[in-house]
Amino acid sequence: QKEVEQNSGPLSVPEGAIASLNCTYSDRGSQSFFWYRQYSGKSPELIMSIYSNGDKEDGRFTAQLNKASQYVSLLIRDSQPSDSATYLCAVNMDLSGGGNKLTFGTGTQLKVEL
Amino acid sequence: EAGVAQSPRYKIIEKRQSVAFWCNPISGHATLYWYQQILGQGPKLLIQFQNNGVVDDSQLPKDRFSAERLKGVDSTLKIQPAKLEDSAVYLCASSPLGQGRTNEKLFFGSGTQLSVL
């Protein structure tokens, strides 16, 4: 089982619709969860972080976390063509020797169509 | 605030040659990461430094890859000899937080795109 799993897509949504991106993770002890956006040919940039069960909203973005189900999602409301990118789910996992490391999923490619 | 600097931006080499990448993190950032991102995949952590010590290098192919972070600032990643499957973007990132604390945010450099022919 992969540590962080996402559907690779592409996920196509019409402009103005809600895009829903999903991610599951294997380490039940993980405490920190992140969504990074990566435009083609560019580096990842952080758009959302979430640490507690429930929803966290920031503008058009809502992150949802369910630790019991080991599931985290990202909703993008009123999707715009500029949202077309690959969205990477990242989970902070404890290292056996102490400290932690950020593990990324393979990413979901989102296409917002006019 | 200056970002994470990486060089070179692109590199093309033949298999069995060696190559080195350089990274200068954001000033004051304690943690430095090297990720490998193969086309169509998510970034894979190769090595994580806390100041000049290694926190995790479990996914670093140590028979051909090496990395160092002298004086806890700049870092270099070397591949010797390169294989075709090493073709990827090598991303350097830094974070201000210390070991044992949650990595709040990683700041990524522009990456080095390596093509091994």
Instruction: Kindly indicate the confidence band of residue B94, based on its pLDDT and cuts at 50, 70 and 90.
Output: very high
Distance, in Å, from the CA atom of B105 to the CA atom of B95, rounded to the nearest integer, reads: 6
Torsion angle, alpha carbons of B20, B23, B24, B28, to 10: -130
Residues of chain A positioned with their CB less than 8 A from the CB of B104 = 49
Distance, in Å, from the CA atom of B62 to the CA atom of B40, rounded to the nearest integer, reads: 24
pLDDT in tens, B4-40: 999 999 999 999 999 999 999 999 888 899 999 999 8
Percentage of residues of chain B with pLDDT beyond 70: 93
Which has more pLDDT, A9 or B19? B19
Q: Which residues contact B70 (CB under 8 A, 6 or more apart)?
A: B52
From chain B residues 34-93, the ones with a CB under 8 A of any chain A CB are 35, 40-45, 48, 50, 55-56, 91
Interface test with A, best of B34, B36, B55, B92 (most A CBs within 10 A): B55
- HSE-CB of B26 using CA atoms within 13 angstroms: 15
pLDDT in tens, A28-40: 888 899 999 999 9
CB B4 within 8 A of CB B26: yes
